[in-house]
Amino acid sequence: MSDKQNRQFRPLPVPNVELAGLFGARQDAICNSTATTLLDRCVEAGMIKAIDVDQPSPGIVIPLQTWSGSTQMFWDSDLGKSIETIAYSLYRRPNAELEARADAIIDMYERMQEKDGYLNAWFQRVQPGRRWTNLRDHHELYCAGHLIEAAVAYYQATGKRKLLDIMSRFADYMITVFGHDEGQLRGYCGHEEVELALVKLARVTGEKKYLDLAKYFIDERGQEPHFFTDEALRDGRDPKNFVQKTYEYSQSHLPVRDQAKVVGHAVRAMYLYSGMADIATEYNDDTLTAALEALWDDLTTKQMYVTGGIGPAASNEGFTDYYDLPNESAYAETCASVGLVFWANRMLGRGPNRRYADIMEVALYNGAMAGLSQDGKTFFYENPLESAGKHHRWTWHHCPCCPPNIARLLASVGSYMYAAADNEIAVHLYGESKARVPLAGGLTVQLSQTTRYPWDGAIRFDVSPDRAAKFALSLRIPEWADGATLAINGAPVDLAPITVDGYARIEREWQAGDHVDLTLPLIPRTLFANPKVRQDAGRAALMRGPLVYCVETTDNGHDLNGISLSSNPASAKTTEIAALEGAVALDVAVTRETADWGSDLYRTTPPKGTPSTARFVPYHLWDNREPGEMLVWVRADQLRHGA
């Protein structure tokens, strides 16, 4: 472990990576539409009035629910994520009008901030006497976390410190409120988020005190006597009388190092594990890493959809039983897959490892990216793997957490592609891009990727250090990439002896003009589910590279459950679809049941099947054309495992 303990990989700042290709197109849509759309809809919802101290308090706009709160309590987080998205979009494409609107909101927050540093629209303007009285339910620290993330992003993108200074003052105040000293609260937030945000704040300011506060929140969680029980009693509430009836909902049922099963609200879990992974990296904490590895295995081997979607149930927006993965009713919230990308990326902080990066890629391309339409104007909250034709993107939501979450992820995705340690560059994700990577000793490396990935598996890296220097370049070889090849300056390299934890680690003296060619064969493949996943029995899913594929009515007509795979899809014909920005579709040989059923509901003779072809398109692009049915898991009556 000693080598791993000293390897700390941190993601590149967003401004250090310039994207083209598929991710670049998504970022252009965010610049063209989403960033402004988010702000416009925040205004329409009344969020700006809520923070404008020059106007009367709007009061309770969204009524209180059974949990004694309102989604209006989260408005600061929606504005925070929207400002974060705007920040990333401004780096890619300056927009003076949008920047001025963001500056005006930041000015309002500055005017609203209390002298002691406290900042929260709800608890200053709607329920001013209720500050810090119900951390279990009321999202105070969660809102602070999203505003901190916005502050860091806005500072990095524009150089403007105002929001960063505002949130630093709030974080300084938190340090006085929370802790073990007399008069302090031994508390933490019911909805985790502030932990990972404080790590970002520490990294950008260089102030270790913010790391220490994040570590405190993580270490304190789930300890006995239980803070949420004591808090409820102090507030005159019955600690057993709350909506979810279990501390598993907020992952506070046990101290975090004792947790081995992923439970509760999916987004909260992902944010907690992300913060834990950051603290494990910053403090070289093997006890946190060990707990996270157990939780990772629990999630990815028993509770995750093939798309990287997580949390099958609407009732708790989260986890149920092992292998309970229904398709049509899947909740699989966009925010949860975004959170899985966050967690996976942070698990790479202690060194490149394919087991995390492969899942990060799947969750990003499928579970998360499906949440934003091609034009950047409409959104999915839930992401089912089957639809009878009634599930479509919407323009806004009473709890609009997903639109700015997927937008800020895609607008900052360059920082998830690359990470740097003192003398090593890790490439976790592939896509047309240029990265500026600082290494130890003042060395800067310009790294360019030329590729059409994920549509084509040929990837060229041009490596240009500002002086000749020895360092390592680690390139992920996905588990599915059978037959991958590597060449350095045109000379083939045997992957086997240099592959460590699924990454080809190339350590050498690099100089300007060096280039590496990596080829990842994108052969369509069939996936079968564990038989314990009863909803997928007798069915199969198709993948090509990191992409999950589905069938839609648009290409295949109705009655998609009448389609059955009849041969291995490895030889499927590929076609570029102009309406989907050149995405690669798969035309696959299938058997299709003929419409000879008549008016019978049941009968003794099986349906007849005829050979046919079905068109599969990337799942993240479904519902971007004509509305209709959709199906990921298609019947595989004629296929045996491994056929």
pLDDT of 355 reads: 97
SS3 state of residue 520: coil
pLDDT of 402 reads: 62
Rounded to an integer, what distance in angstroms lies between the CA atom of residue 430 and that of residue 595? 44
Rounded to an integer, what distance in angstroms lies between the CA atom of residue 478 and that of residue 484? 9
Rounded to an integer, what distance in angstroms lies between the CA atom of residue 192 and that of residue 268? 5
Give the residue ranges of the chain where pLDDT is below 50. 1-5, 641-643
- Given the DSSP bridges, would you call strands 525-527 and 491-493 parallel, antiparallel or unpaired? unpaired
Instruction: Determine whether 42 is an active site residue.
Output: no
Cα separations in angstroms, 371 against 86, 255, 309, 403: 18, 33, 11, 8
Pick the catalytic residue from 401, 402, 424, 550.
401
526-581 tens-digit pLDDT: 999 999 999 999 999 999 999 999 999 999 999 999 999 998 899 899 999 999 98
Rounded to an integer, what distance in angstroms lies between the CA atom of residue 215 and that of residue 516? 40
Beta pairing partners, 484: none
Pick the catalytic residue from 317, 382, 593, 629.
317
pLDDT of 396 reads: 57
Segments making up each domain of the chain, as ranges? 256-415, 418-519, 524-641
Instruction: Determine whether 317 is an active site residue.
Output: yes
Return the sign of the alpha-carbon dihedral for residues 452, 454, 459, 461. positive
Q: Which residues contact 510 (CB under 8 A, 6 or more apart)?
A: 445, 463, 465, 468, 469, 470, 471, 473
Please state at what angle helix 334-347 crosses helix 286-302, rounded to 10 degrees: 140
Q: Which CATH number fits domain 418-519: 3.40.50.1100, 2.60.40.420, 2.40.50.100, 2.60.40.1180?
A: 2.60.40.1180
615-640 tens-digit pLDDT: 999 999 999 899 999 999 999 987 75
Cβ density class 225-241: b for 16+ within 10 Å, e for less: eebbeebbeeeebeeee
Amino acid found at 363:
A
pLDDT of 3 reads: 44
Using H for helix, E for strand and C for coil, what is the string for 579-643? HHCCEEEEEEEEEEECCCCCCCCCCCCCCCEEEEEEEEEEHHHCCCCCCCCEECCEECCCCCCCC
Sheet holding 444-451, edge to edge: 17-19, 433-438, 444-451, 458-465, 514-519, 485-488, 491-493
Tokens, residue 511: 């100089």
Rounded to an integer, what distance in angstroms lies between the CA atom of residue 357 and that of residue 476? 8
Cβ density class 272-283: b for 16+ within 10 Å, e for less: bbbbbbbbbbbe
Which run of H or of E encompasses 283? Answer: helix 266-283
- DSSP annotation of 394 reads B
